[in-house]
Amino acid sequence: MARRKKNTPETAVNPLADNVHIQGAGSIKDEQVTDTLKENFMPYAMSVIISRAIPEIDGFKPSHRKLLYTMYNMGLLQGGTVKSANIVGRTMQLNPHGDASIYETMIRLSRGNESLLYPYVESKGNFGKAYSKNMMYAASRYTEAKLAPISKELFEDINKDTVDFVDNYDNTMKEPTLLPVTFPSILSNVTTGIAVGMASSIASFNLGELCETTIALIKNPDHEISETLLAPDFVGGGYVIYDKEEFEKIYSTGRGSVKVRAKYTYDKSYNCIDITEIPPTTTSEAIIDKIVELVKSNKVRELSDIRDETDLKGLRITLDLKRGTDPDKLMAKLYKMTPLEDAFSCNFNVLIKGTPKVLGVNSILKEWIDFRLECVRRRTQFTLNKKADRLHLLEGLEKILLDIDKAIKIIRGTESESDVVPNLMIGFGIDKLQAEFVAEIKLRHLNKEYILKRTKDIETLKKEIAELEGILASKNKLKKIIIKELTEVSAKYSGERKTQILYEVEQFDDNAVVEVPDYPVTLFITKEGYLNKIRTANLRMSGDQKVKEGDEVQRVFECSNRDEILAFTDKAQVYKAKVDDFADSKASLLGTYVATKLGMEPDEKTVYICVIHEYKGYMIFAFENGKIAKVDISAYQTKTNRKKLLKAYSDKVPLVACEYIEEDTELVLCSSSGRMLLLNTGALAAKTTKDTIGVSVMTQKKKHVLESMHFYQEGEFEKAWRFRTKNLPAAGALPSPADNTAQITF
């Protein structure tokens, strides 16, 4: 087996060496970056801009135009639907970019997909939904389509030289460069596209308003657009928020944004909200995912469930509300925090005679009027030429019909067939076209009736030609034709607005206090850190509280759903939450693991949980060295919704126990030496610093520490005075057998 030669200076210089057959391959060429961009990148960029992404004044990109023109040639304006695969295959004669891209183009133009305000394709089968990512369309072999009735307005008089035609990619067919649309389709449907270095995003408008505005502009170029064109109109409905300044900016510059809100209804019987119309820039899945995220982060607490109930009847997202929730206030909140209110960014970039231009609505409509005037002028000229040609032939026929016998004599006297036409031209003084027309007349037409009809046609044609010439000579007459067509289109296809206009909008106030339902609840807190919240009204019907194996209920609180919870951890931190943050549960369930719910660190454990109705009272912290810290509970109150406070207590010495007291009381301190001290918390001064180290209360012998602290129960000691002291710190006293017995039996 032959071994390949190594690259050498000789082979590198000679491009033909080492079996290299491409001229210049492997050689290095010095070239300016700017030259490379001009030669390679710029042609590509211009091709994307002109031939793919940016719509032209007829409202279509080339891919749309090729598909619709193919369907028109297939006769799909009439009759029934045909398989989409058939249409896609035929379209590839004009658009050789693969069947997938062609079918996706058809999907977007179809009525079933609900992407366009005025769809151009009638669909049969599953064409997916624009408002849902999960509702995908079926394959082209399963679906069927035809042109919608409004598509007739796209091809009106297309065969009368109204637009230019060019060769397709392989020069086997002709296709139109533009469609002679009879209405401003460029603004009747949403069109978006991303090119190289630029993009286009055109909003849709109601056809009735659009035609009325165009007519007004034809009559008066200084017409105020906003008087007749109220606001954009989208296929998905909803509400468009009226902003006069922003709309006038869009109308004049072509740039700006339109805020669109979802539409909802409240079902009182089921206490739920049904969302049936959403903005065109989002999907039902995106909305649901965002709401779920807000619920998990406790930013939205008014919902008990959310479901996507979209079916054949249309879009529907259902929100189940908690008892006492105001649906309007909740929706005002969701409008601000979710895509239920979204902005459609306008960038009215349109190709005008091959040049991309960002134009306002006013300028686009004036460009369309000029385009349509040219279409009507060319159509009129085409009709005039046809009638002029017909008149020319009939005028030659008229000369011959005045003396038919002479014509017959000339024809019969001509020996060669090829000389018939020249002899007729000489005999009657007519040109070749007229003579050819006369020579082809059948014998059955050489009668008086035929002659009179043709003579009458001459007079009619002369009147029609004069009328057409008058139209061509008068721009006002051309405008009247366009106005008439626009009026007819509006009457046939326009309807009520789908997107309603909101002139006054209720905005959600972030600083507003969220109304939390107030009802009595009972909290069960276990040793392992589980919290179960049960409505007190349902507690009688519940059985024993369920706990994990080895766990037990440590504390029970009877409180209000509006109260707050403070959870102190072994890392000297406190986490705050509302009782309402925890869902109502049952005794048969374990409840919620507090550490996970409050977002604690992985190795962080809860050491104490208390419920605060109002920030009055104190936190008592007992440390191993016998010091006690009395902290005013108001130190944990915050004006903001902070969920986590650092340095909740001192971490200089290990914490033994802590208790929340609403007012001063007596506590029992127990040392590892066996001594016990009865402390009245009124003897301690309250501090506002959370991590204070406290004051010495119970002195400890060497190698002994404070072990525990609990509330004093009346009768716990036989002689309570033995454990009390006037001066602090104190060592406490050893309990007698009677004291121990009293404590156990109490």
Is residue 7's pLDDT more than 80?
Answer: no
Is residue 451's pLDDT more than 90?
Answer: no
Query: Are 742 and 715 in contact, with CB atoms under 8 Å apart?
Result: yes
CA dist., res. 206 & res. 234, Å (int)? 8
Average pLDDT for 64-91: 95
CA dist., res. 519 & res. 609, Å (int)? 21
pLDDT, residue 167, reads 93
Is residue 75's pLDDT more than 90?
Answer: yes
DSSP state of 240: E
Distances (CA, A) of 564 to 397, 529, 534, 575, 631: 104, 17, 16, 11, 18
pLDDT, residue 150, reads 96
CA dist., res. 620 & res. 685, Å (int)? 11
Query: Are 218 and 476 in contact, with CB atoms under 8 Å apart?
Result: no
Is residue 715's pLDDT more than 90?
Answer: no
What percent of the chain shows pLDDT beyond 90? 57
CA dist., res. 309 & res. 326, Å (int)? 22
At residue 3 the predicted structure's pLDDT band, cuts being 50, 70 and 90, is very low
DSSP state of 139: P
Is 477 or 39 the better-scoring residue by pLDDT?
A: 477
CA dist., res. 365 & res. 378, Å (int)? 20
pLDDT, residue 16, reads 43
pLDDT, residue 643, reads 82
pLDDT, residue 393, reads 87
- State which of 295-309, 329-343, 428-442 shows the largest mean pLDDT: 329-343
DSSP 285-302: HHHHHHHHHHHHTTS--S
Is residue 507's pLDDT more than 70?
Answer: no
Catalytic sites, residue numbers = 142
pLDDT, residue 21, reads 62
pLDDT, residue 17, reads 46
Average pLDDT for 385-409: 86
- State which of 270-284, 299-313, 398-412, 578-592 shows the largest mean pLDDT: 270-284
Is residue 743's pLDDT more than 70?
Answer: no
pLDDT, residue 735, reads 87
pLDDT, residue 506, reads 64
Cα 494 from chain centroid (whole Å): 25
H-type alpha helices, 276-403: 284-296, 327-337, 361-401
Average pLDDT for 73-84: 94
pLDDT, residue 354, reads 87
pLDDT, residue 508, reads 54
pLDDT (tens digit, 9 = 90+) per residue, 663-695? Answer: 999 999 999 998 999 999 998 999 989 999 999
Work out whether the CA dihedral 659, 663, 668, 672 comes out positive or negative.
positive
pLDDT (tens digit, 9 = 90+) per residue, 558-616? Answer: 898 889 999 999 999 999 988 888 888 888 888 888 888 888 888 888 899 999 988 99
Is 109 or 718 the better-scoring residue by pLDDT?
A: 109
Is residue 547's pLDDT more than 90?
Answer: no
Cβ-Cβ contacts under 8 Å for 135 (sequence gap 6 or more) = 128, 129, 310
Token code pair at residue 598: 């409050």
DSSP state of 527: T
At residue 542 the predicted structure's pLDDT band, cuts being 50, 70 and 90, is low
Distances (CA, A) of 698 to 691, 721, 737: 19, 16, 22
Distances (CA, A) of 379 to 85, 274, 384, 447: 34, 52, 8, 35
At residue 742 the predicted structure's pLDDT band, cuts being 50, 70 and 90, is very low
pLDDT, residue 658, reads 92
- State which of 384-393, 399-408, 715-724 shows the largest mean pLDDT: 384-393
pLDDT, residue 264, reads 95
pLDDT (tens digit, 9 = 90+) per residue, 627-659? Answer: 999 999 999 988 767 788 889 999 999 999 999
DSSP state of 504: S
Mean pLDDT of the chain: 88
Q: Which of 337, 311, 308, 325 is nearest to 266 (CA)?
A: 325
Is residue 720's pLDDT more than 90?
Answer: no
What percent of the chain shows pLDDT beyond 70? 94
Q: What 3-state DSSP class applies to 171? A: coil
| E-assigned strand segments in 189-337 | 191-194, 199-202, 239-241, 255-261, 263-267, 272-277, 303-308, 317-321
At residue 549 the predicted structure's pLDDT band, cuts being 50, 70 and 90, is confident
pLDDT (tens digit, 9 = 90+) per residue, 150-204? Answer: 999 999 999 999 999 999 999 999 999 999 999 999 999 999 988 888 889 999 9
Least confident piece of the model among 29-33, 225-229, 384-388, 541-545:
541-545
Is 509 or 195 the better-scoring residue by pLDDT?
A: 195
Is residue 71's pLDDT more than 80?
Answer: yes
CA dist., res. 281 & res. 235, Å (int)? 11
Residue 276 identity (one-letter amino acid): T
Q: Which of 203, 179, 177, 209 is nearest to 191 (CA)?
A: 203
pLDDT, residue 384, reads 95
